[in-house]
Structures are given as C-alpha cells and as structure tokens.
C-alpha cells in the first residue's frame, strides 16, 4: 500500500470516528426518559407545570384534578363504628361489576343503627 493511499485510509477512519462520537454525544444530550414528578418537594405539584411542556395545564389550568370543591357544607355527622371480622372472600364477575361477597358477622354502626357488610363491588 503506497503512502498516499494509507494516509487517506487513516484520514477517512479518523474522520469517521470523529463524526460518530460527535453524533452520539449530541444525541445523548437529547435522549430523555419519562419526566420524574412527586407529590412534594422540588418536583411536587406546585412545580409540575415547569417539569415538561406537556404539563402546561398543571400550571395554567383552572379545573384539573384534584377538583376544587366549592360550596361544601359543614355537617355534624355521627361517628362510624367499624366491626369488621376476617372473612373468606367470594369474588364474582357478575357481568357488569366485580362483586366480593363477605361472610356474615361484619358491620358498621352509625348513630346507633347497625349495617351488615354483605358485599362490596367495583
């Protein structure tokens, strides 16, 4: 291999390496993952709108969740007394909800009136 051919081969390899490393460095600066947010501190709710342009509604919005409940009425409610027992659960898909049947013996009492826990569903 003559000297000029070797020179151009080495030069081409050096340029290729330079371009490759420059390209990967510039891409590395633009690679992002999901934005990390929390419920408190520097990434808490008061900062969500600044974490990403996608979160602009968190900064500019007026009625996003959690909903600002207005017109709430203070009420003097009776205490709830819970009397829950351990129970085997029977889970049923009844076609429109998941229903969980609870064994007898658990209840709550509100204002002296007892309510038996028979089932819950979601």
* Exposure string for 25-46, b = 16+ CB within 10 A, e = fewer: eeeeeeeeeeeeeeeeeeeeee
For 78, the token pair is: 């009776």
Strand (E) or helix (H) holding 26: helix 3-28
| Active site residues per annotation | 96
Which of 106, 79, 101, 104 lies closest to 90 in space, CA to CA?
101
């Amino acid at each position: 291999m003559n000297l000029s051919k070797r020179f151009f081969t080495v030069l081409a390899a050096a340029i290729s390496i330079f371009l490759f490393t420059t390209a990967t460095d510039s891409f590395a600066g633009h690679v992002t993952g999901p934005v990390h947010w929390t419920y408190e501190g520097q990434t808490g709710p008061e900062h969500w709108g600044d974490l990403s342009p996608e979160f602009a509604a968190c900064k500019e919005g007026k009625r996003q969740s959690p909903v600002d409940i207005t017109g709430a009425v203070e009420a003097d409610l009776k205490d709830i007394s819970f009397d829950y027992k351990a129970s085997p659960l029977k889970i049923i898909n009844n076609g429109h909800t998941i229903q969980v049947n609870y064994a007898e013996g658990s209840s709550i009492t509100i204002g002296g009136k007892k309510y038996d826990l028979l089932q819950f569903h979601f």
